[in-house]
Chain A
């Protein structure tokens, strides 16, 4: 049982951080499909920064800085150039995947996996079996609570939600939805960096091409599933993590008797089912998804 909880937390913690980034963007009215790309930039920058300088702090700082810059670029394209957020987000994802690939090849000359000498600090033996988890796992509940409080119990949170739901209302009380979106995306960039760093340095201490494997999209789905509510969305992402951990567990238990590749598909299938359920519960967007376009009014 403990093993299973640990597996779930390992799978789920990066997902939770990135989900929070998605929640911020969603509440500000941006469909952020660039989460996948931002997350892998976080993975790559943290590992390469650590490997190249030997300093974990530098790696983390590099991850945060690059993710924030990439988020600001995405904001510029969506808000200022008025690009379609979904396509631009997919472009950002492609840029993250391609850019990290290019960076690894530029440094190492091949697409090989990069091994880090060590990872994030662990909780340590006083936590028993849970000691193998990183500090970011332990911090996760507090971060979730902090963002819940920020989004649901502060005026800033209300203004952010107004910017997404009814931008004209926000503007008519003097709040700039554009600035709110910039803040939401950049803070989301920090969260993506943390999620990426946890994925690469939490338990694995490696960077491999495409290692996020759709987790950014899963986080986005969790946001849709949770209707942009921080707690509900985080719960949805933990649900996907449980499914993922079950798949891993099944591989260990059943070995070759079940097709491993299909077990790997479980989280994606769970995501589809989650989206379907949430659409059924809320009536869905039968006619007009408006292609995720930003709203001015």
Chain B
């Protein structure tokens, strides 16, 4: 920790020394072990009360683990935790909540079938245990109104848009007398304007005396709201809390990535820091073919279902050697778009053409035979069978194409898989090991090795870098750019605008199942953000 000197100075600036009031949350020497992986190593931290603190780091740096330790959800193998100066036992949610610590999860921890009123009640600790439906609603109406959460008390959680779900989750966290509110990646699912609303809400909470700890990974957002910044890397504390005004984006990104890794990925710093108002687009490829598009969707309409709204008259075309990005707040039809292209949901009307041929009614196996490749949203459920061997996962695409009764020689597939994975730089011991034993980055490379082959003509990459560290992210983008250079059409869905700005030759925005806007570089964050929320 070569930043030691600076760090101490910064701490002194952020937290008045010999502070009369004890730290809102203090942990000493916390270590967490998941199996053989050390998620946190000897982390000691103290957060001053009534401020907004940011904890930043790459994926896998231990941010979420830290939040869960503080909330009592994860029991560390060693270390102590003190709230408001009083030490509490670790690994006990009840005691942590009683001490005033509440955690808002990244993917929201509310039972989807509950009504808003029920979601408030199930985590409450005081008051009558029996209720009537009306009594329940009366009880929580005011609470939600005070927090400015716009959601009907009878609405079911699963029917709420993500912004409202997050509002309800925050309201749920505040039903008790919260002193420390921890939010895990709250901005990941929000539109730019949603983020602004959230930050306003957090500022007013801070004014009312709540200490807020924000787990974030975008430096721009950190510098926009936080009073102090703490950096974790590889489960260790790198620096912090330092006063946000005593640091800058450059210094933070250096300590997030780490000095030695910096050279390798210098070009991707923009994605980490976050866009300023305007960002330069990736250079437009040499020749976007003017011939017939690889993919053409013509006024496609689908029914909405449990996985999201249906498409309404979605028209889209992608040419050879073109990368089209899809932006939008999650849950606005991006999943449906990918599913209709993969024939996992039926098009009610409209046409889909692949390479000029109508494939609207063609099954997925046939579409794949014609060059469609899909990198699905959920790597661990849709992309891979985690308990199956690497070679089985790798050969699935080819086996699906042939007859199921074909006799095969597994040794041949293992060998081919071995060669392919080596080419894609996947780190593994044997092709017989289960896919679940790979790290996130290697697992995604396995999917790339399967899906990006010489016969691919259209590659759909849905959230291809979610949960990956900077190095693996750079690898994925490089692979997609290479595919473009070979003439593939590429459709990229991401909730990270900075990434999209960086890679897309063209950008479309989805809202409520419609394609509402199309942009060409240079992209402006303000314009795209406005289109995402319908203010366009």
Contacts and interface: CB of A to CB of B under 8 A. Distances in A.
Direct contact of A and B (CB under 8 A): yes
Interface of A: 149, 153-156, 158-159, 161-162, 165-166, 168-174, 283
B109 interface: yes
Contact of A155 (B92, B93, B105, B121): B121
Given A169-B111, A172-B103, A154 B93 contact: no
B122 A158 contact: yes
B131 A153 contact: yes
B93 A172 contact: yes
Nearest to B127: A155
Contacts, number: 60
Give the 4 A-B CB pairs with smallest separation, nearest first.
Answer: A173-B123, A174-B94, A158-B122, A174-B93
Interface stretch (B18-26, B112-120, B308-316): B112-120
B110 interface: yes
Contacts of A159: 122
Contacts of B73: 171-172
Contacts of A156: 129
Given A153-B131, A158-B121, A174-B93, 14 more contacts: A153-B130, A153-B133, A154-B129, A154-B130, A155-B124, A155-B129, A161-B111, A169-B109, A169-B110, A169-B122, A171-B73, A171-B93, A172-B93, A172-B103
Contacts of B124: 155
A165 B132 contact: no
A155 B130 CA distance: 7
10 contacts: A154-B129, A155-B129, A158-B122, A165-B111, A166-B111, A168-B109, A169-B109, A169-B110, A169-B111, A174-B97
B114 A158 contact: yes
A167 to B, nearest CB: 10
A165 B109 CA distance: 11
Interface residues of B, number: 27
Interface string B65-101: 0000001110000000000000000001110110000
Given A155-B121, A155-B122, A162-B114, A172 B109 contact: yes
B93 A158 contact: no
A278 B132 CA distance: 28
Contacts of A149: 130
Contact of B110 (A153, A166, A171): A166
Q: Which of B103, B112, B130 has the most CB of A within 10 A?
A: B130
Contacts of A174: 72, 92-94, 96-97
Contacts of B130: 149, 153-154
A283 B112 contact: no
Nearest to B68: A172
Nearest to A160: B122
B409 interface: no
B263 interface: no
Contacts of A283: 306
A169 B94 CA distance: 13
A153 B128 CA distance: 11
Contacts of B306: 283
Nearest to B96: A174
A174 B130 CA distance: 19
Nearest to B110: A169
Nearest to A155: B129
B375 to A, nearest CB: 19
B129 A173 contact: no
Contacts of A153: 130-133
Q: Which of B72, B121, B123 has the most CB of A within 10 A?
A: B123
Contacts of B97: 173-174
B109 A154 contact: no
A158 B114 CA distance: 8
Q: Which of A154, A161, A173 has the most CB of B within 10 A?
A: A173
Nearest to A169: B109
A26 to B, nearest CB: 13
B114 to A, nearest CB: 7
Contacts of A165: 111-114
